[in-house]
Structure 1
């Protein structure tokens, strides 16, 4: 099923370069905004992202590929040094918290080395409502994290996560039900 969701892209095309520069300019403006410039930061995020619910909060040093493929719900929070590689859509539900140093990566590359650096693929990521992703976690392409789940700090999520569980480790495995 996830292979059907996979999209392919070629690095360095005029359109992709233009979209990437747009995102980098906006993230640079966001990251250089003053600590108390809350309205300016929110305006930049609303311009950068595809859609944003009420009350978004993102800490300093945020990065993304395109921005417009990111969709976040109400009360979204992302800690310091969050990176979202959004070559495919990243959809985040309401009341989600993302700890510091988290990477959410829709992008991947060929296993074979020939032309690996010239193109790639991307698979959407979906994060449900009331999800907490602890610090220094990595969420890989195609993962769905269902509602109310917790990803413990330092985990690497390589497969779908059901609702109401705590996952931990590398690769992340179910610790217990909530």
Structure 2
């Protein structure tokens, strides 16, 4: 068991350059967690509570102050997550959140419904997995039932989501309905050439050393053995080497310019 002030876990992994505020509490539901894994360059803010027996958080993810993550089933959150202040993420039914997801402030993500007296005949008792895909965005003040949100789906501010969200669709309202036909899809189609040109422009604006970073159009151009960080615009992956210029470029790109995950990542 590893104990470090407010962090208690039998297996604890915290990546490089990750910041955890001294007031944050990270442990299991009723004692030390079995496994806590926090990636590189993460931020966990003031008064965050993570009470989860098995919790994983990917690189460059941020959990802002007064957020609560709790439950006895695993919670896995991918790379580049942005979770606003005062959010609730429930993992009693099991919660998986993909890469590049945004959860706006004061949102609540639920995977169970329990309280009514079943001896007295209350019929509302359930728990089910909450599965959030990649590039999903709950804009803020959203309440989410145990649904599946497909990649690039989006819920506007104040939405109450009770049904699955389809890929690259926009939802709004109480209960939330698909409004994509009124405002368009969240993501437009962009060619590889357009992305290649735009990311090279970002590299110039970032003032990072372009001899340390190379933008490519295919992972076939990766060289894992040299001292250059490669960014492939087709797969949205990069050769993570934790070089200073790579870290500087990633921080320049996040959260709204571009999001990349490590090549061969298991998230």
Give the TM-score normalised by the residue count of structure 1: 0.69
Is the aligned partner of 1:87 residue 2:92?
yes
Rounded to whole Å, the distance in 1 between the matches of 2:121 and 2:68 is 25
Relative distance call for 1:80 and 1:20 in structure 2 (3 A) is same
Counterpart in the other structure of 1:166: 170
Counterpart in the other structure of 2:109: 104
Is the aligned partner of 1:144 residue 2:169?
no
Rounded to whole Å, the distance in 1 between the matches of 2:167 and 2:173 is 18
Report how far residue 21 of structure 1 moved. 3.5
Counterpart in the other structure of 1:126: 131
- Which one is further off, 56-65 or 96-105? 56-65
Relative distance call for 1:39 and 1:157 in structure 2 (3 A) is closer
* Uncovered stretches (5+) of structure 1, i.e. residues with no partner: 1-17, 24-36
Counterpart in the other structure of 2:62: 57
Give the TM-score normalised by the residue count of structure 2: 0.47
Calculate the aligned-residue CA RMSD, in Å: 3.2
- The 3-state SS of whatever aligns with 1:95 is coil
Is the aligned partner of 1:75 residue 2:80?
yes
Rounded to whole Å, the distance in 2 between the matches of 1:39 and 1:89 is 21
Query: C-alpha deviations, 1:77-126, integer Å up to 9, x for none?
Result: 1000010121011111110011000000101137776275xx94310011
Match of 1:175 among 172, 179, 182: 179
Who wins on radius of gyration, i.e. which is larger? 2
- Which one is further off, 101-110 or 165-174? 101-110
Dislocated runs of 4+, deviation >6 Å? none
Task: Compare the two structures and name the one with the higher helix fraction.
Answer: 1
Structure ranking higher on relative contact order (CA contacts 8 Å, 6+ apart): 1
Relative distance call for 1:86 and 1:144 in structure 2 (3 A) is same
Relative distance call for 1:110 and 1:146 in structure 2 (3 A) is same
Query: 8 Å contact 1:22–1:66 — kept in the other structure?
Result: no
Query: 8 Å contact 1:50–1:67 — kept in the other structure?
Result: no
* Uncovered stretches (5+) of structure 2, i.e. residues with no partner: 1-26, 33-41, 186-267
Query: C-alpha deviations, 1:2-32, integer Å up to 9, x for none?
Result: xxxxxxxxxxxxxxxx942348xxxxxxxxx
Query: 8 Å contact 1:145–1:161 — kept in the other structure?
Result: yes
Query: 8 Å contact 1:59–1:78 — kept in the other structure?
Result: yes
Pairs aligned (count): 143
- The 3-state SS of whatever aligns with 1:65 is strand
Match of 2:161 among 147, 157, 165: 157
